[in-house]
Structure 1
Amino acid sequence: MKLAKKKKLLIKFLAFFLPMLIASIMLTGFVLSITSYRFFRKTIDQDYRNIIRASAGEIQLFMDNARRSLEALALMMKAAKLDDWQQKMALIAFIHSHPQFEYVTLYSTDGKTMATSLFEDPETGVAAEEPFISAAAGKAAISGVMAGQENIPFIYMAAPVSRLGKTAGVLWAQLNLKAVWDVLEGISIGKTGHVYIMDLSGRYIGHRQIDHVIRRPPADKSGILEEIHAAHGPVEWTENQSGRAVYNLGAHVPALDWVVVLSQPRSEIFAYLYQNFWWAAGITFLISALAICLGWRWTRRIIDPIQRLHTQVVNIGAGDLEHKVSVDTEDEIGELGKAFNDMTDSLKTHIRQEIETARALAHARNLAVLGTASSKVTHEVGNFLSNTDMALGILKRESVSDRGKRIIAVLENDAARVKEFIQSFLGFAKKPELILKNRPLDLIIREVVDVFQAESEKRNIPIRFHWEKAIPMIPVDAGMVHQAMANLIKNAMDAVDHDGEIVVKGISEAGRIALTVADSGPGMTPEIRDQVFEP
């Protein structure tokens, strides 16, 4: 029954405490996970946008450098007066120093070949191309992306060569975009993430996997490419590639009309975050398990003292007040245990006092009954003794023998002793009237000691008397004190064997006088001690 109650209370407490604790831990873990996820998404978005901007800028810088190199060649040919052979050597030297260009040719404004880096006749009909027309008008231009041999993309760049304020010729160069791949190879994003370039038609211009550029047809991404072209910043979208969700972030390069795209599987992007989520879940589980264990142990520390208190209450209800509650904690439960022990001690003291009071009341009732009965007895015995005294007085006046006189004297002594006994009996039955006077207490006690001195010397039981001189005179009833001390010393002499001793001592302690009569006897048994004040 006790175990069932204990388990019931323990289960109630745990059912209230542990769900709240675990819920708070789970809620904290969930909030931290959501916060980590949002922060991670924000960081990834910002980092990837920076990467795509940097990639677009690097590609733009590559193209600008190529354009500036061609314009520098045009300025050089403008400033120097070169013959045909020198012009050809200058173009060949330019190709060797700028390997990103396939070839470069100097045309007149009407499209005639003036010099070329090729060892064969260059292509004709370039005068109708839009970049050539722009360069002939005095402005450098770049063509759109075209496919050459093996479907490798390239572009044409045109720069005007001016003399005396007029365009005297046009430098026409083919720029191989394979050099852009070197730029893309330098951009590493995780294990499989990469950056590639497309034009607005969806054709791959640069890609880490070269087969995408050489063999793969233009991708059908017209919708997203139009959105990227119209946007003022990077645009993100998700594609399904071979059953995997792939994250993409694209940005438009206005000067080239290209689109730079960053691509990476979402599983790879969030792998670290998911790993942290699993770690967080595992740690949360361990913390919850630890909380359950600690909660169980802590609950037991609370419930066990309460159970001991309950057991003590049951014992008290059964009348057993001797057991103590043992609580080792220094908290409210420990204070409750100490208070309960104090209550038990107070209850025992109260019960003991009640028992003593009941005994005193019973003793008082006995004395009252005894007093009433003794009054009647002494009255009758007194009448008898009065008649006896009268009869003995008459007999004494008569002539009797010596033997009769001795008998009359014996009767008179016995009658006197019976009268004295009756007087003492009546004094015990009635509350005595005290006659208090200031007296030196030591003189009264010394007188009693002197009375018993002869008998003590006869029995070889010395009576030693010690008295502090600082004890003042106090109001006492000399007769009562004499009688009480005489009874104590007489009882001590009866209890002490031959060659023992009796010590009478008087000391002053904290404004009170302590008077003791100690002997070397065996003492009283508990049964006699309980009856010491009974008549």
Structure 2
Amino acid sequence: MDAAPDKPAYDYLPLDRAEIEEQYERLRKRTIIRLLIIYILPLILLSAYFHFQFTLTLTESSKSHLKSIAESQRNTIDLFLQERVVNLNNLFARMNFSTPITDEIMGQSLERLKQNSPTFVDLGLFNEQGIHLAYSGPFAFLKNQDYSKENWFIALMQGNQNHFISDIYLGFRKKPHFTIAVKREDLGKKMVLRATVDPIKFADFINTLEDTGEVFTFIVNQRGSYQVIPKQLEPLLALVNYLPETEPKVGAKEITLNKEHYLLAYSWLHEVKWCLVVLQPLKIAYASMYRTRFIIILLSFVFLLTIVAVVFFTTRRFIGHLKKTDIAKYNLQRQLFHAAKLASVGELAAGIAHEINNPLAIIGEEAGLLKDLLDPQFSSQEITPEEINKHLDIILNAVFRCRDITGKLLGFVRKDEIKLQLENINEVLEETIRMMQNEITLSNISIEVNFEENLPLILTNRNQLQQVFINLINNAIAAITPPGKISFSTRIKDNFISIAISDTGCGMTPEQMEKIFFPFYTTKQVGKGTGLGLSVSYGIIKGLGGRIEVSSEVGKGSTFEIFLPLKNKLS
């Protein structure tokens, strides 16, 4: 029956403390990274989403605010122009064309107009042929001029509306102005009354509509010509001709003028084909958004730092506690291994004592012989230096043999730090067999060896492996009723080196096999076993990156097969 225990009652740690330190350092880094991802990624995603929504909302709010300013100013300008048209119509309605309209009457009429709005410059009366019949204003030379080919006159006479408002132009006076003209038919004749508006005063009126000095307003016609430009925008707008879209009638957008970024809102007038444009620097238009965004980013950053600090502190404390516990466990495990090793030494004592006894007997005999040879009472012959050296060499060889035996024993017992190095498994096993040779022979047990030649060197710990081999050999000796046999074999199997130790002992039941790797479990008689050998062996092999498999049959014996990786991950 085969058995490969998944996990004994004791959870063994790696055999090297540095490996424990490295494992926990990796665990600490992985834990920190995972916790940061768990906590920070949702925070970043939520912050990005809310920042996007917040920016979009405030941007639209700023655009809506500027559009409302543009619409409000447009309505005011439309109302202003409507009032000027009404002023002119009322004045025209009161004129009596049954008598000639003199310049004096025109002057009185102009004064009444200026009382309504100081933006009026002059006033003129035209017949349907476009001849300037009467005039009042600063440009007297305009009287009797022919306006029949002027754009505003043609548009008024040919259009369906009874009034017309022109773009700003120079005309005969060669000065910028725009015309508000109304037509009327009286006594079968069409007459036109025209007033001109001063664009500077009109611009001053528009400037009074700006709610702050940070919002600038200008007007363009449908061809993109500027009609009204604030003085502070003249250098800027002189470089760019901007024509807003005709549809929709009201809109807002971000633009760049002369490498400066602005928020722009526009609204087309109803009374004339002009577009009112409101301009505001982005840093002012989005000031509240920038301020709030900065606060949100700052708070998010502080919150992020807090999360990182908490994760680092908590993880370090938690992992530190686990590492401290495992190091204490590691120290106890080393003590357990050493105790098991000492127990194995106790079981080796008889064989070791017998092995040391032989060279000691030789030393005693040779020393006695030398003493006799050097005593004149007992020696009839003269002893030569060569003879003395011969006996001394025998003594030295016996001493060296004792030293080798005790050296191997001390090396096995010594409590050193676990170090991995390249080892030949066949050599390690052969040395262990030689160490146990006397005890095996005294127990009337034969040895069978079947080693695969040219096994590759593997990274392992010689001392730990010898402890495992001694434990398994001691168990095999205890299980055999003489005479018996212990077989040793090595081979390469898959990516492992297999070491099999078989005996012809009493074997084990399935119930016993389930417990053999539990600490302090033993099938030996009371006082003849500690119950630590197999448990410690399991821990050692697991710590070296390998595994132990067991097969046993009652009355026929047991086989323990150790698998050690050819390429040890512990390296």
Q: Please, what TM-score do these two structures have when normalized by structure 1?
A: 0.49
Name the one with the larger helix percent.
Answer: 1
User: Which protein is bigger by CA-based radius of gyration?
Assistant: 1
Q: Which has the higher contact order (CA 8 A, sep 6+)?
A: 2
